[in-house]
Amino acid sequence: MKKVLVACGNGIATSTVVAIKIREICEEQGVQVMVSQCKLLEVESKVSDYDLLVTTGKFDSSDIDIKVIGAISLLTGVGEEETLDEIVKVLK
């Protein structure tokens, strides 16, 4: 099972929307996934246990050893399909 950490400014509203979309696309594609949410400020203390980091805000990923995907498109709808495809590709 792959583990995804979704981070947004406060770790509640936008990360919930993104987490739901990730769960749905992974289920459709047959990818077993566990999705957790946090604040952007908490990422560095939590990310080491995850396979993928998905963010809805600006984040300096230079200290992170896993793939980081910006997912503002999952909130705006512009480029959403491409972002979801990239997430699934990383997790497969």
Listed as own residue / partner, the contacts of 69-76 with beta carbons closer than 8 Å and 24 or more positions apart are 71/6, 71/18, 74/17, 74/18, 74/21, 74/22, 75/14, 75/17, 75/18
Residue 32 CA to residue 39 CA, distance in Å, equals 24
Residue 53 CA to residue 58 CA, distance in Å, equals 12
Instruction: Tell me which of 4, 8, 33, 54 is the catalytic residue.
Output: 8
The answer to whether 8 is a known catalytic residue is yes
- Residues taking part in catalysis: 8
